[in-house]
Structure 1
Amino acid sequence: MTELSPARRVALDILLELEETGAYARDALDASPDVHALERRDAGLAMRLVLGVVASYGCLDDLIDAYCDKPGRMNARIRNALRIATFELVYLGTEPRAAVSQGVELVRTRAKSAAGFANFVLRRIAENRAYYLEAGDVGEPEERRLVALARQGGLPIWLVEEMVRSRGFTAAQDAVAAELEPAGVSVHMNPLDEAAEEELSVLVGNVRDVEVEGAGAAPHASSGSIVQLPGAALGIPAARLVGTDPLRRGGVAVCDLNAQIIASAATMPGSCLEVGAGRGTKTFIMAAQAVRFGMTRDAIALELSKKKSRLNRRRLERAGLAGSVHCVTGDGCDLDRSLACIDERAGGRWLFECVFVDAPCSGTGTMRRHPEIPWRLLPEDVDETLPALQLALLSSAAERVKPGGQLVFATCSVLRQENEGVIESFLGSEAGRAFELAPVSSAPVFALPGFEDVMAYVREHEDARGMFQTIPALGAYDGHFCARLVRT
């Protein structure tokens, strides 16, 4: 009898826990004492299996069910054990004999009588995995190409169709190729914490004025594949960063490079309103950049969730960056009510030099970091619900921009409905008539020394109207969108 690896046993336990609790995979992995007790290599495999199965379970189930007479009657323990082995066979490239053997043993630990059934199903999957990935069962060529692309990324067909419609087949292909691969880790440095730089240098070498490789879906014209962003450090070994002192005390904040660029674009002297601050990662980056470049700011970070707003404030306080930021809990669609206390202290309705809307979105540019997204997302979310909310937030925020001020809108989506579509709807509305699109690359901060590379990089990823969009790809960072509007 084959000895079952501890990584697969732990992965199955966590997947069963996720099914019972509805928790997020990364949170469960971070909190699991069983994962932390594993050897580093086994811990890495357990994490890869859990995240991969969660990200692709719809495709895994389609394949498993093809070889079951009564798939609806399969219990969760057997199904999740089969999902792990199927993920290894189809997406991880595990040697078939080993994957089948380990899968059978995993099923045996939960239901001895099902071991023969598991052996049959997994052997059929091993024999037919290439046929499945190539969509050999689909007749029409164009449909086959689309279905094959979806299966190769473990994604719903409708979602890949939306990605192709939004960005074209080649860009969608790049994003799908990166979907099941680990995402790069980058951080933003707190300029008030010199010790953090020294501690981080143990992990990645000298991080001062770090040169960042592979920082986008396209090469950077002025320096090959290298772009520099003040305050950013990339190529951080994630396993070594978790639980470290710099992270705990706010010496660094983990954030994708493209998200750091967008937060930097929204940084300028004067008054700033951030709508949708969340846990405050971009709040941290804007405050850090303001300190780094000697800007005097008076910032409001607005967030609907009391818990997230509290976490934002605590991190800023630990980091020493809270002095110029006031965290407020409230609804971005009703700013008059949410900012009532602020307006009262200001002696009237406060207008801002910059309003930054970090809008809730589908997260389709960050699916490899958030594996739950693909199979929880619904077509009506991206066609109706999210664009309507995004437009409402943008329209509300527009009323708080001073004449000559900038309104910055951002998502981590790659879908046009949530990005260019929202901007077009806004500009065609009553609220949008007072605004004009301006290139993101012309944001005032990018004229400062040290941002020359970033400005060029942003220009490479702007469309003809100056809107910034990146697409995930192997060796690249996440998919983010940003539009900059100026009030006339």
Structure 2
Amino acid sequence: MRPDLHLHSRKPQSGKPKESGEQRPGLAVRKTAARLLSAIIDAHTSLDGLTDAAGGHPQYRALDVRDRALVRAVLTTALRFRVTIEKLIERELDRPLPGNAHALSHILHVAAAQILFLDIPDSAAVDLAVSHAKGDPRTARFGGLVNGVLRALARSKDKALPEMLAATEDAPDWFRERLVAAYGEENAAAILAAHRVEAPTDFTVRADPEKWARRIGGIVLPTGTVRVERLAAPVPELPGYGDGAWWVQDAAASLPARLLGDVSGARVADLCAAPGGKTAQLVSAGARVTAVDISSSRLKRLAVNLGRLGLEAQIVTADLMKYEPARPFDAVLLDAPCSSTGTVRRHPDVPWTKTPADIEKLAEVQFRLLGRAVELVRPGGRVVFSNCSLDPAEGEVLLERFLAGTEGVRLDPIRLGEAAGIDPFITARGTLRTTPAELDLGTPALSGMDGFFAARLFRLP
């Protein structure tokens, strides 16, 4: 007999789970969540891609709107607290799960996320997980183990969960190590703690932020962004949506476009522009904007967003490395594709789908794109380079390498007082760096912002 057949939980099993059945209410949701968790952890597929309404996983798209929302809630929770959940499951086992027991692990994580963090009855989470396990040939023999482990978690969670949260950090080792190397132990711990808290929703408003903060139930940040901790309704149902009064954009993401200064009447290229938040900022500031992106589908979304806002820009689908405008631009904004490690609060799959090799590869892509961006601006013009990565390999290190090896360009340092609210994020080098641990507004749920890096360059005449 194979040794893994003897796996069992330390605690005695109790309760009799209901028999499995394909039509059991809620079972399709749990199966979908486990299937998508497998795609994220085992195949490094992005959560947003899997849950896209048009092109997402077929199993997800087959669900109704309410069930889709539950799948996303389960997955974001399971990913946000993955290490904590893993450690609590391990405590209930005599020995680790077999190395090839991925399907079993995902079933346990999906159910544990519900039991430990979501407002779902423990009994329902346990029974559905057992039905799921028994209905899958890969996990059928582990039905008893699933039942025992999950019931033990439910009994002990009030004491065990706070203790485990205090003792762990929810990130893969490689991710934590790179944060510590970049920011030190204390700041890295603060960033990881912020990642455990769901991010608020930020809005860039076209005018009168105080008015719109009152209307949609938020506050005005020092940068002028309106922040709402909990939305009273879906975004399209909020006041001002149909009128194009605002758009959703993280406070940190709104800063790079402002570093170009007064762009009224200027010809500005927004490179890698979709989905268009920065394009909207630049157009609203009076610039004549050319929005360039390699993805036609993402540019369609940009066009829809600009249409709702009543804004116009020239939209160009092109590979930036091959793009040849008729003449150089007065200014260029390059918000480059990156590892997105600064957006973990909103995208908790990122540390589990990216690797150090991905970061190094993306840094090389950004290096080439930045070189092209400088070529597209006229002598005497500005280039702002930015991305939503926390990793210096995609920010500070890349910048210094670029400046050292590129003629005809210099750093144009960002100065204190240039724009409202940005002073705390200006580095000694004159660049901009934000992290999720900054912008303390009194409560974790209201505080923080995406991790961003930005630098401004000047092309010499």
Q: Shared topology, TM-score over 0.5? A: yes
State the alpha-carbon separation in 2 of the partners of residues 415 and 481 from structure 1: 9
Match among 349, 359, 363 for residue 340 of structure 2: 363
Match among 179, 184, 192 for residue 163 of structure 1: 179
Q: Which has the higher helix share?
A: 1
Deviations 1:158-197 (A, max 9, x none): 1111011111222211111121221010112245xx9x99
Match among 439, 444, 449 for residue 477 of structure 1: 449
Q: Structure 1 regions of 5+ residues with no counterpart?
A: 135-147, 213-226, 344-349, 447-453
TM-score (normalised: structure 2)? 0.76
Match among 408, 411, 423 for residue 459 of structure 1: 423
Change in CA separation of 1:33 and 1:180 when aligned onto 2, cut-off 3 Å:
farther
Matched, 1:286 2:314: no
Partner of 2:126: 104
Q: Percent identity?
A: 26
Matched, 1:311 2:301: yes
CA contact (8 A) 1:8 1:106 kept: yes
The residue matched to 1:183 in structure 2 has which SS?
coil
The residue matched to 1:273 in structure 2 has which SS?
strand
State the alpha-carbon separation in 2 of the partners of residues 286 and 416 from structure 1: 27
The residue matched to 2:292 in structure 1 has which SS?
strand
Change in CA separation of 1:199 and 1:483 when aligned onto 2, cut-off 3 Å:
closer
State the alpha-carbon separation in 2 of the partners of residues 10 and 197 from structure 1: 44
Q: What amino acid sits opposite 1:278 in the alignment?
A: A
The residue matched to 1:86 in structure 2 has which SS?
helix
Instruction: State the 1:469 CA deviation.
Output: 0.8
Give the number of equivalent residue pairs. 407
Partner of 1:449: none
Partner of 1:451: none
Instruction: State which drifts further: 395-404 or 10-19.
Output: 10-19
Aligned-pair RMSD on alpha carbons?
3.7
State the alpha-carbon separation in 2 of the partners of residues 265 and 458 from structure 1: 10
State the alpha-carbon separation in 2 of the partners of residues 434 and 84 from structure 1: 51
Partner of 1:71: 98
Partner of 1:403: 379
Instruction: State the 1:243 CA deviation.
Output: 3.3
State the alpha-carbon separation in 2 of the partners of residues 299 and 406 from structure 1: 14
Q: What amino acid sits opposite 1:253 in the alignment?
A: W
The residue matched to 2:274 in structure 1 has which SS?
coil
CA contact (8 A) 2:130 2:147 kept: no
Instruction: State the 1:397 CA deviation.
Output: 0.9
State the alpha-carbon separation in 1 of the partners of residues 373 and 411 from structure 2: 15
CA contact (8 A) 2:84 2:165 kept: no
Matched, 1:15 2:33: yes
The residue matched to 1:368 in structure 2 has which SS?
coil
Partner of 2:412: 437
Instruction: State the 1:385 CA deviation.
Output: 0.6
Change in CA separation of 1:266 and 1:174 when aligned onto 2, cut-off 3 Å:
same
Deviations 1:409-429 (A, max 9, x none): 111111111111111011101
Partner of 2:270: 274
The residue matched to 1:428 in structure 2 has which SS?
helix
TM-score (normalised: structure 1)? 0.72
Change in CA separation of 1:437 and 1:169 when aligned onto 2, cut-off 3 Å:
farther
Q: Structure 2 regions of 5+ residues with no counterpart?
A: 1-14, 19-23, 54-60, 135-140, 438-443
After TM superposition, the structure 1 = structure 2 runs for residues 102-251 of structure 1, keeping only pairs within 5 Å, are 102-112=124-134, 114-122=142-150, 126=156, 151-152=168-169, 154-190=170-206, 202-204=215-217, 211-212=220-221, 227-229=222-224, 232-235=225-228, 237-238=230-231, 240-244=233-237, 246-247=240-241, 250-251=244-245
State the alpha-carbon separation in 2 of the partners of residues 201 and 459 from structure 1: 26
CA contact (8 A) 1:272 1:352 kept: yes
Instruction: State which drifts further: 299-308 or 279-288.
Output: 279-288
State the alpha-carbon separation in 2 of the partners of residues 182 and 483 from structure 1: 28
